[in-house]
Copies of this chain bind each other. A is one copy, B any other.
């Protein structure tokens, strides 16, 4: 799954070449410099260098709909051909745009938000699949699906400055983890090649799986039952469950990340809390307090009150996506930590 990236190494004096100079970049560099300087008041022992990243809207674009929502919609489309009875479910009809709404559209105005009812319908259809089958379906879909505005694979729409941040932290001894409200099984197949984060280091929402011998082969089977929602209060809980350590650094972009950032801020050592603010209407999207997807409201207030690092995509980032740099690909890879 690991992919070697051929890209020019950044100048050694600037580990974050896609970040404009400013308070955000300065706070990151000051944090890492202190964390790695023995004797400094901000020093963090190697064992405690854990950094957690939300995924949707923090590492890649979540508009006009969560990527996982697009996956679900497309899976439903395909499945409705095989199982027309699915269309008896109004949530499914709505998702596929067969009710006169715009849920199924591919244009930018469609804000498909999977309801609990819809997720259950989808989980029911995937129930009985092995976890490996599901992972292959995700990769197959990512290979062909295209973003409605940028007409590129979704995995092209990752944020170049965040790839640099991940790599910078890794090079300074941090283990980097994804902590996302999205499904762990949806993310694990591709996070290594896309972010340089090992699939083991993913915390996400989960469904119940069942161990069984299928034709004498031991497999894990997906059930339709949701086990854990890794969002809001669930994020610190998921971090404890899977990582077992309070992070030293956390990055998010929405109210769903507020408790994760708070929990990180509650540590007694030096720490970095970073909130990505989507304020670039031209190069990406601009949304915050009123958005249906990735709403940023109470977390923005808390970031301001507590002095967390707010990243303005418009002001702080020279480029948004790797392809804007004119190079062939991402340059985040290499080391995996």
Contacts and interface: CB of A to CB of B under 8 A. Distances in A.
A240 interface: yes
Nearest to A240: B220
Contacts of A211: 233, 236-237, 259, 263
Contacts of A136: none
A200 interface: yes
**Number of copies of chain A assembled together:** 2
A209 B47 CA distance: 23
Contacts of A326: none
A210 B47 CA distance: 25
A293 B9 CA distance: 55
A310 B184 CA distance: 35
Nearest to A184: B244
Given A218-B265, A236-B218, A199 B244 contact: yes
A219 B239 CA distance: 12
A46 B199 CA distance: 12
A184 B240 CA distance: 10
Contact of A240 (B46, B131, B192, B198): B131
Contacts of A265: 218
A243 B198 CA distance: 10
Given A217-B266, A218-B266, A242 B240 contact: no
Given A202-B244, A233-B211, A218 B47 contact: no
Interface in A177-201: 184-185, 188, 192, 198-200
Nearest to A264: B218
Interface string A209-224: 1110100011110000
Contacts of A225: none
A191 B236 CA distance: 22
Contact of A50 (B175, B200, B336): B200
Contacts of A259: 211, 218
Contact of A266 (B188, B198, B219, B245): B219
B263 A199 contact: no
B175 A262 contact: no
A243 B200 contact: yes
Interface string A29-49: 000000000000000011100
A117 B336 CA distance: 44
21 contacts: A1-B47, A2-B46, A184-B244, A188-B245, A200-B244, A200-B245, A202-B244, A206-B241, A210-B233, A211-B237, A211-B259, A211-B263, A213-B262, A218-B236, A218-B263, A218-B265, A218-B266, A219-B266, A220-B240, A227-B241, A242-B242
